[in-house]
Amino acid sequence: MSRDLKPFGSARVVRWAQGLAGIAAFLLAAESLGLVIPQTVLPRASTVLVQVVRLAGNTRFLADAGATLEAWAAGMLLTVLVAVPAGLVLGSLPGVRFATRALTEFLRPVPAVSLILLVTLLLGSGLRMTVTLIVYGGSWPVLYNTIAGLDGVDPVALQTMRAFGFGRLAVIRHVSLPSSAPFIATGIRIASSIALILDIGAGYLTGRLNGPGIGAFIADVSSGTGDVPLILAATVWVGFLGLALNALLLQAERRLLPWHRASLGSAHERVPLPAAAAGAA
């Protein structure tokens, strides 16, 4: 959407200025709150900001962030490879969807963090454990959004394709997949934020035993010096990481699905949460 707005550049400048003013006001408020609340309870914003800058040069933190990204990428790739085909099967074969429905409805709400012990016993700790948790937790929004996307396919287009004698696979490839792609993309972005939660949560729960990662970094700090500003600074970086990954996925969505851009307003960009995430996560 931002590209379409180019002729109205001043509106973008205003939005940026507003956003920056909001951030500045928040930091000022946090800083002045820090004057009232003792530093041991909640550190000052300026102290945290100094730590944020310092962390950018902390090689151990950078290595941990790299490991977190690696697990995220591997987990998301596998999630898409598992959940999109599964969603296509369930979405286009009502019989199979019906037969598996009772099972998926009970499996879906089981939080992936609760599987840590089992996965560790079966696969050992480390990257494989984290990736398995991400695939379990991330597959549901992708699966359900793929099915929701297939349900929303224009029946006239489907019947036209069938009337021209196209087979099931050709219909999926030329009609169902393109028209449900925006739903799938939304599901992938929800899965990405869940993947980050599981990635860091599992690392924090299992600590260094599970190998490097931001979760292990935070576990180290909190069991060691208990340096609260450092933990907050890491949290800020993780927020940036989440924002960057979301922006990356939005950009990929725009590149790959140019036909979808016109059909959705700027609201979609501003609120990257599901436009139609039926039974998300």
Partner 1 sequence: MMTRLALSAGRRLRWTQHWLVLAAAVGLWQLWAQQRNSPYFPPPSVILPQMRQLWFSGPADHLFLTPDATSNIVPSLIRVLLGLGISIAVAVPLGIALGRSPAVTGFLDPLLQFARSIPVVTAAPLFIALFRIGTQMEVATIVAGTIWPLLLNTIDGASSLDPIKIETARAFRLSRWHRLTRLIIPSALPKIFTGLRLSLSLSLILMVFSELVGSTNGIGYEMSSASSEFNLPVFWAVLVLLGILGYLLNAVLYAVERLALRWHGAASQRAY
Residues 12-31 that bind partner 1 (CB under 8 A): 14-15, 18-23, 25-26
**Helix spans in 152-209 (H):** 155-163, 168-171, 177-206
Amino acid symbol at 96: V
2 binds partner 1 (CB under 8 A): no
| CA 275 from centre of chain | 15
61 binds partner 1 (CB under 8 A): no
CB nearer to partner 1: give 147 or 181. 147
Q: Interior CA angle at 30 toward 198 and 42, to 5°?
A: 65
The one among 66, 85, 111, 167 contacting partner 1 by CB under 8 A: 111
DSSP at 109: T
187 binds partner 1 (CB under 8 A): no
List binders of partner 1 among 237-266 (CB under 8 A).
238-243, 246, 265
| CA 157 from centre of chain | 32
Distance (Å, rounded) from C-alpha 170 to C-alpha 165? 10
> Please, is 43 exposed, middle or buried when counting C-beta atoms within 10 Å of its C-beta (0-12, 13-18, 19+)?
buried
The one among 6, 9, 35, 41 contacting partner 1 by CB under 8 A: 41
Amino acid symbol at 215: G
CB nearer to partner 1: give 166 or 241. 241
The one among 55, 112, 127, 172 contacting partner 1 by CB under 8 A: 112
Contact mark string toward partner 1, 194..223, x via CB under 8 A = x-xxxxxx--xx--------xx--x--xx-
138 binds partner 1 (CB under 8 A): no
Shortest spacing between CB 222 and partner 1, in angstroms: 4
